[in-house]
Amino acid sequence: MAIRLDGKAFADGLCEKLITEVEGLKAAHGLRPCIAVVLVGEDPASQVYVRNKVKRCEQLGIDSIEHRPADNITQAELMALIDELNGNDDVHGILVQLPLPEHLDEDQVINAIQPEKDVDGFNLLNVGRLSVGQKGLLPCTPLGSMMLLKDHLGDLSGLNAVVVGRSNIVGKPMAQLLLRENCTVTIAHSKTKNLADVCRSADILVAAVGRPRFVQGDWIKPGATVIDVGINRIEEDGKNRLVGDVDYDAAFEHAGAITPVPGGIGPMTIACLMYNTVAAAKAANKIE
């Protein structure tokens, strides 16, 4: 039987600390941390994500500015908007909600964001900083996963970590963070042979695959810590359900600790966006 790693409770605790910190920044420095959120078009899922992020900002006393250009915005117009936000000293973080409509060049937009305002941590400079071990803004999902791991395990040195998934936003940066914490890291993907055996070698198993209940209970080394990043919507027993990339009930019998879905990494991701925004505001104003 495993411990349930309660990401929601941890994220709530982190947000409580941020509320106090934001109040302190306003009182002592007249500084109002502010994030600009850019949502292009009407994608319903993106609208929900943006609404949740803006709501969290409000709860924490972080200012948010929403830009909602229509989906026929040109690349040049979007780049001009990013430029304007880069030059606005009252804006400390810029978040462009992905995916962008197909006619827009996502990489060009993300890389146009000033690295110090890149609160998603996707900009090439921040990716490079992470890989060479320099300080920079870290992508929110891996950062939140790492906070939970360290809170539960303490020192991760020497542990075998397996990350299933090699996306630029989750798998690769997660592997980099684990390496930075002195884990022995394996990155698995769709071409990996004997995936079950690879997973069985993991003291820490991170699943970022995008397939419902893909990781089986008997793939998990007894006592391992399992981080389930996956968010999959499925129809089951006539109900709409949210499930992870790990077969939670089966994994619970083998793991030492496991994050649930929902209530695990999802809330940590949003809390870390807030954390990055406050960090960016402090850095811009040279506040320790």
Binding residues for ligand NDP (CB under 6 A): 141, 164-167, 169-171, 188-192, 195, 208-211, 229-232, 245, 265-266, 269
The contacts found for 58-62 with CB under 8 angstroms, 24 or more apart, are 59/15, 59/19, 60/15, 60/18, 60/19, 60/22, 60/274, 61/19, 61/22, 61/23, 61/26, 62/18, 62/22, 62/33, 62/34, 62/35, 62/274, 62/277, 62/278
CB of 79 to ligand NDP, least distance (A): 24
- In the bound state with ligand NDP, the residue whose beta carbon lies nearer, of 160 and 192, is 192
CB of 274 to ligand NDP, least distance (A): 13
CB of 56 to ligand NDP, least distance (A): 13
Active site residue 120: yes
Catalytic member of 53, 117, 172, 221: 53
Name residue 53's amino acid. K
- In the bound state with ligand NDP, the residue whose beta carbon lies nearer, of 81 and 144, is 144
Catalytic member of 97, 117, 245, 247: 97
Residue 278 phi, psi (nearest 5) = -65, -40
- In the bound state with ligand NDP, the residue whose beta carbon lies nearer, of 23 and 107, is 107
Q: What tokens does 75 get?
A: 């690349």
Q: How far apart are CA 113 and CA 146, in angstroms?
A: 25
Catalytic member of 118, 120, 228, 247: 120
CB of 231 to ligand NDP, least distance (A): 4
CB of 88 to ligand NDP, least distance (A): 27
Q: What tokens does 278 get?
A: 């406050």
Q: How far apart are CA 150 and CA 75, in angstroms?
A: 41
- Look-up of token digits 């302190």: 24
Q: How far apart are CA 146 and CA 121, in angstroms?
A: 15
- In the bound state with ligand NDP, the residue whose beta carbon lies nearer, of 106 and 283, is 106
- In the bound state with ligand NDP, the residue whose beta carbon lies nearer, of 64 and 145, is 145
* Residue, CB closest to ligand NDP: 167
Name residue 178's amino acid. L
Question: Of 76, 225, 219, which is closest to residue 161 (Cα–Cα)?
Answer: 225
Q: Which residues are catalytic?
A: 53, 97, 120
